Amino acid sequence: MKIGILTSGGDCPGLNAVIRGAVLKGIAIHGHEFVGFLDGWRGVVEGDIIDIPRTMVRGIAKQGGTILGTSRTNPFENGGGPEVIKAHMERLGIDAIIAIGGEGTLAAAKRLTDAGLKIVGVPKTVDNDLDATDYTFGFDTAVQIATEAIDRLRTTGESHHRCMIAEVMGRHVGWIALHAGMAAGAHAILIPEQKVSIEQITEWVNEAHARGRAPLVVVAEGFVPEHMETPHSERGLDTFGRPRLGGIADQLAPELEARTGIETRATILGHIQRGGVPSAFDRVLATRLGMAAIDSVVEGYWGTMVALKGTDIEHVGFQEALGKLKTVPQNRYDEAAVLFG
C-alpha cells in the first residue's frame, strides 16, 4: 500500500516520533510505501506531497516540531472537500491516510471518513483533552517545560517578594495547569473546570505571603473566574471556529495587586510549551502510536484512532474520541487544593 501521512493543527514534541514509528514498521513488516502531505490538510487539499523513504526518518524521534510542516487548514474550505481529496489520492496512487492531530484534525478526519475516504488517526495534543485516550503525546513534555519555567519564576518572585502568575496552555481543560502547578508547588491552581472567585484567590495569595512566601499562582488559559461567563479571548477565532484563548494572567495580575498590595507579575508561557525535544515518555508513546496506526491500516480500521488505555494501545472510533472533552475530575482538583494558600 501507499500511505500518506499528515500532521495538522498545533505542533508539539513527538510528532516526528510518530512518523518514524509508522514508517519503520510499515516498511520493515509490511513493505508499505510512504509519502507525506506538506503542511497538514493544505497538502491534502492541494495534493502537495513528498516521498518518505526509510532514510528520511533516521534519528528524528528526538526532534521537536514536524518534518512535514503543519497548518490549521480546514480541508472543507478553500477548494477542498471529499471529492477533491479523493481525486488527488487517485492521481497520486495513495491508498490511505494517517492523520496525526488533535480535536480539529480528528473531527475533519471523521467527516472525510464518513464521505468514504480511508483514514486512521493518531491523537496529538499538549492539552491532553481527548476523552478516549489516557494520555496524548506532547502533554508530558509540555508539563515538564511549564514546570521548569515556573520553578524559575519562583526564584525571581522570592528575590523580589512578588506574587508571580504563570499562565499555561490547555484550552478548555486544566491538565497542564494541574500537573505543572502541583509539581512546582503552586499556592493556587486555576483551571477551567473550577469556578473560583477573586476573593478566594486573594485569600490564597495572602495566606502564602503571611507565611513569608512569594505567592505563586498557576492559571490555565481557559480559566473563567466566577465573575466572568466565558474564557478570556481577544484574538478572534481559528480556522475551525474555535476562540483563540490567552491573556487571563494579565487580567488577574493588576486585580490581585490592588487587592493584596503585593507587587504582582504575570508571565504567559505560550508556545514555548510546544517547542523543543520531546521527553522520553513522549518519544516512547509517540513511537508506539505510530506503529499501532500501521496495524489500523493493515486491518482496515478506517474511522478509528489509536489510543493509550492503561499501558496498552487500543483502537477507538472517531466518534468516541470526539464525544466529549476529558476534563479534570473533582477528586483530582481536591487533591491539589489541599496544597493551596
Q: Is 103 labeled as ligand-binding? A: yes
Residue 15's CB is within 10 A of a number of other CB atoms, namely: 28
Of the candidates 11, 39, 127, 282, the residue annotated as catalytic is 127
Q: Is 169 labeled as ligand-binding? A: yes
DSSP line for 98-114: EEEESHHHHHHHHHHHH
Q: Is 202 labeled as ligand-binding? A: no
Q: Within 218-279, where are the H helices?
A: 248-260
User: Using an 8 Å Cβ cutoff, are 36 and 48 in contact?
Assistant: no
SS3 282: helix
User: Using an 8 Å Cβ cutoff, are 111 and 76 in contact?
Assistant: yes
User: Using an 8 Å Cβ cutoff, are 234 and 183 in contact?
Assistant: no
Q: Which three cell numbers stand for residue 181?
A: 502547578
Q: Return d(Cα 125, Cα 14) in angstroms, integer.
A: 10
Q: Is 119 labeled as ligand-binding? A: no
Helix pair angle (139-160, 175-184), 10° resolution: 50
Q: Is 52 labeled as ligand-binding? A: no
127 has catalytic annotation: yes
| C-alpha distance across the termini of the chain, in Å | 58
Chain position carrying cell 484534525: 105
Q: Is 126 labeled as ligand-binding? A: yes
Q: Is 50 labeled as ligand-binding? A: no
Q: Is 265 labeled as ligand-binding? A: yes
User: Using an 8 Å Cβ cutoff, are 200 and 190 in contact?
Assistant: no
Q: Is 272 labeled as ligand-binding? A: yes
Q: Is 114 labeled as ligand-binding? A: no
Element (H, E) at 280: helix 280-299
Q: Is 276 labeled as ligand-binding? A: no
**Among 121, 29, 128, 173, residue whose Cα is nearest residue 314:** 121
Q: Which three cell numbers stand for residue 47?
A: 495534493
Q: Which three cell numbers stand for residue 64?
A: 521537536
- The answer to whether the Cα torsion of 82, 88, 90, 92 is positive or negative is negative
Q: Is 213 labeled as ligand-binding? A: no
Q: Return d(Cα 102, Cα 61) in angstroms, integer.
A: 19
Q: Is 274 labeled as ligand-binding? A: yes
Q: Is 10 labeled as ligand-binding? A: yes
Indicate the annotated binding residues for substrate.
125-127, 162, 169-171, 221, 265, 271-274
- The annotation places the binding site at 10, 72-73, 102-105, 125-127, 162, 169-171, 221, 265, 271-274
Pick out the residues of the known binding site for Mg(2+).
103
Give binding residues for ATP as ranges: 10, 72-73, 102-105
Residues designated catalytic? 127
